[in-house]
Amino acid sequence: MISRKLIRTDLNLLVALQILLEERNVTRAAERLSVSQPALSKTLQKLRDSFEDELFTRTAHGLVPTPRAEELGRELPALLETVEKVLGDTEFSPETYTGCFKLLLPPILCEMLLPGLMAELNDIAPGVQVVTAEVRPDYQEQLKKGEADFAAFVALETEREIHAEPIATIAPRCYMRTDHPLSDQEMGLKEFLEYPHLRLYLPGLTRENTSMVDVVLGPYGVHRNIVLETTQFSSAVGVLTRTDALLVANAGFEEGGLYRERITGVELPAELQRMIRNTHSGNRGKMSLMRHTRTSRSAPHQWMRALLMKHLTGAGELVQDEARTLDANS
């Protein structure tokens, strides 16, 4: 039987309490709830009245939960997940939806994903907002805290509540300006090493991405002439177009359309392909789209997941093709 207290309780108060427990900061919690700080302060007072407990004390470092709040914090996630599942069947319409999705992406995927994704959203869901940030190694914590909705990263080990959906197998190509001396001829390892190189540094992805070349060459006492190492994707392209430098990066680097007229990608030297395959055989990283399992019953999140996978498939197919090319040439 439903109690009178439950009848009088606004379940939105429990959502606010969970966000406050996660953020420990009124300003950040108000931003996540899309309410003003004064409004959230009033909500906090209602929570205090309802539970007859102070719940939080203010310190110079933020809000500190009371023992009662900590006890509630252990019970709330499961309760709210159940409520979310119950509400998951509510009708969802992309045309009228006005939510915001935060995506954590490597720069290269931003370049390939966003033009097509945003064009389609403009047509079918004009009220949807997308916010992107560069993915960091702590992306799983961001997903768990609700600071992001989706993350694309190499899924090596994921926690139980993080769902990873493979996008593609990482395979590299060698990029250069379209009129580069090597652009229209077969490139051997000797030619590959004669030219200066750029290294696109992606924190947390380096070993599985561009630096695999240096990992396999190192034991042979062979080293590339790295003239620039950068995290700036567009800067690397700018340098490529004005110099003879080469850049090893994931297949599909130029497929977003932004750089197609300026750079071209060719296969790595056959010798280097074999060295990479032998060194990394059966251990290629899997680029995956990841989300927290609490979004599994959310119609907006499932819709966005399908849309992201649709637009990432092109990049994935390109990378898978390159993986097959490596195998065929071995």
Kindly report, residue by residue over 52-96, the tens digit of the pLDDT: 999 999 888 889 999 999 999 888 988 887 787 666 555 789 999
Report the alpha-carbon distance of residue 250 to residue 33 in Å, rounded: 38
Q: What is the pLDDT of residue 125?
A: 96
Q: Model-level pTM?
A: 0.56
170, 208 in Cβ contact below 8 A?
A: yes
Please determine, for residue 265, whether its predicted confidence score (pLDDT) is greater than 80: yes
Topology adopted by domain 172-283: D-Maltodextrin-Binding Protein; domain 2 (3.40.190)
Topology adopted by domain 100-169+285-320: D-Maltodextrin-Binding Protein; domain 2 (3.40.190)
Residues of the chain with CATH 3.40.190.10: 100-169+285-320, 172-283
Q: Is 225 exposed, middle or buried (0-12, 13-18, 19+ CB in 10 A)?
A: exposed
90-119 mean pLDDT = 87
* Mean pLDDT lowest among 130-134, 160-164, 252-256, 294-298: 252-256
Q: What is the pLDDT of residue 154?
A: 75
CB atoms under 10 Å from CB of 114, counted, come to 18
262, 178 in Cβ contact below 8 A?
A: yes
Judge: domain 4-87, CATH 1.10.10.10: yes
End-to-end CA distance of the chain: 69
Residues of the chain with CATH 1.10.10.10: 4-87
For the chain, the average pLDDT equals: 82
- pLDDT tens track for 212-223: 788 889 888 899
The two structure tokens encoding residue 249: 């990066």
